[in-house]
Structure 1
Amino acid sequence: MTEQRPFLFLDVDGPLNPWWAASRRRPAGYRALPMRPTGWEAPRPPLRVWLNPGHGPLLLDLGFRLVWATTWQAEANIWIAPVLGLPELPVVHWPRMHHQDPDGVHWKTRHLVATAAGRPFAWVDDEIGPTDREWIAHHHRGRALPHRVDPAKGLLPDDFATLRAWAAGG
C-alpha cells in the first residue's frame, strides 16, 4: 500500500552528505567518494561526497515513500542511491532553485507542500528553519514533519527514531 505511506522528502547535502564536516574528519561509517555530477566535469576536481552505506537500509525501514528533494534531482538516483543501496526513487522537479521567497521561507518549502497535495509528509533537510515550520503548519492540511538535520553530522540515530515514530503516527 505504497500510496498510503507518508512521503519522506529527502535532501542529499547535509542529511546524507554531511558537507559541513567535509573539511574536517570523516565521520565514522562514512565513505569519501569522488563524484562528477552535472557541473562538476573535468578539469574541475571531482566533488568529494561523504555517504554512509548503512543509511540506505535504515531509510527503507522507516515506513515512508522516499522521494528525492534535492538539487541533485534525478542525478541522486545515479550517484547517491547505488551507494546507499536504495532503488531508483521518484524526484521532486523544482520549477526554480535558490530563489528568494517573498515570505522568507526556504525556496523548497512551497513546492514540497504543493507536491504533497494534502498528504502526510516529512521533509529532511539542513536548511529548514522556524519560518518554514510555521508556513507549512498554516498552508498544509495534512500531517507534516519538517525535520532539520545538522549538516556537520548528517542523519543520526535520533533522527531515524524521530522519523520512524512520526511515520507510525506517534
Structure 2
Amino acid sequence: MARPLLFLDVDGPLIPFGRRTGDYRTFTDADLGNPLLGRVDPALGPRLLALGCDLVWATTWFEDANECVAPLLGLPPLPVLDFPDEPAAGGRHWKTERIVERAAGSPFVWIDDETTGADRARVANHHPGPALLHTVAADTGLTDGDLAAITAWLASCG
C-alpha cells in the first residue's frame, strides 16, 4: 500500500495568526524577508516527517513554501499542489477538488484552518479511500494535540 499523502497549508497551521497582535510565539527574530516567518516552529518539521506520509504543499505560498518555509522546518523541497483560478461551488474550499484529484483514491490527511462540513461531505462522496480533513485553529497553529490526533488516525488506517 502506498504511503498516505499529507496536504499541508501554511497560513494558519504553520504560521499561526494569534488572537491579537503579538499574541503568538516567535521562534526567530532573524530578518527573513517576511515577519510572519518568525512564527514557524522549526520543531514541526521533524514531527511532520515522522508521520510517515508523503508531504505535499497545499497553500497559496506555492513554490515560495519550498523556498521560505521548508528550510525553516528542515524539510526537503516538496511537491506543490496547483489550484484552479475559479472559486469552488457549494460552499467548499477552493482546494478541495484538486486535493481529491491528486489523492486519486490514496489515503490522505489535509491539514488546514479553513475546512468545513461541505469539504468533508465532498471528500466522503468523491474519494474512495480514507481521508482526514484536520482543521487547525489559525490562532494557535498546529499543536501537539493536532499531531496526536493525526498520528492516531494514521495508525487506524494501518
Taking structure 2 as the reference length, what is the TM-score of the superposition? 0.90
Q: Residue 81 and residue 111 in structure 1: after superposition, are their counterparts in 2 closer, same or farther (change >3 A)?
A: same
The match for 1:48 is: 36
- Return the letter of the residue paired with 2:128: R
Mind listing any 5+ residue stretches in structure 2 that lack a counterpart? none
- Return the letter of the residue paired with 1:104: G
Count the aligned residue pairs: 156
Deviation at 1:30, TM superposition (A): 3.1
Preserved CA contact (<8 Å) 1:55 1:84: yes
Deviation at 1:33, TM superposition (A): 5.6
Deviation at 1:110, TM superposition (A): 0.9
Identity among equivalent positions (%) equals 45
Moved >6 Å (runs of 4+): none
- 1:146 match: secondary structure: strand
- 2:151 match: secondary structure: helix
- Return the letter of the residue paired with 1:48: L
Preserved CA contact (<8 Å) 1:32 1:48: no
Return the structure number with greater strand share. Answer: 1
Deviation at 1:86, TM superposition (A): 0.6
Q: 1:10 aligns with which of 8, 11, 33?
A: 8
Deviations 1:56-93 (A, max 9, x none): 01101011111100000111010000011111111101
Tell me, in whole angstroms, the C-alpha distance in 1 between the residues paired with 2:6 and 2:29.
25
Preserved CA contact (<8 Å) 2:5 2:103: yes
- Alignment pair present for 1:59 and 2:48: yes
- Return the letter of the residue paired with 2:156: G
Deviations 1:75-115 (A, max 9, x none): 1010000011111111101232xx43221100001111011
The match for 2:67 is: 78
Tell me, in whole angstroms, the C-alpha distance in 2 between the residues paired with 1:124 and 1:74.
18
Q: 2:111 aligns with which of 85, 101, 124?
A: 124
The match for 1:41 is: none
- Return the letter of the residue paired with 2:27: Y
Mind listing any 5+ residue stretches in structure 1 that lack a counterpart? 37-45
Deviation at 1:149, TM superposition (A): 0.2
Deviations 1:27-65 (A, max 9, x none): 2x73356544xxxxxxxxx44331001000110101111
Tell me, in whole angstroms, the C-alpha distance in 2 between the residues paired with 1:86 and 1:158.
21
Preserved CA contact (<8 Å) 1:8 1:66: yes
Tell me, in whole angstroms, the C-alpha distance in 2 between the residues paired with 1:132 and 1:33.
37
Task: Say what the alpha-carbon RMSD is for the aligned residues.
Answer: 1.9
The match for 1:43 is: none
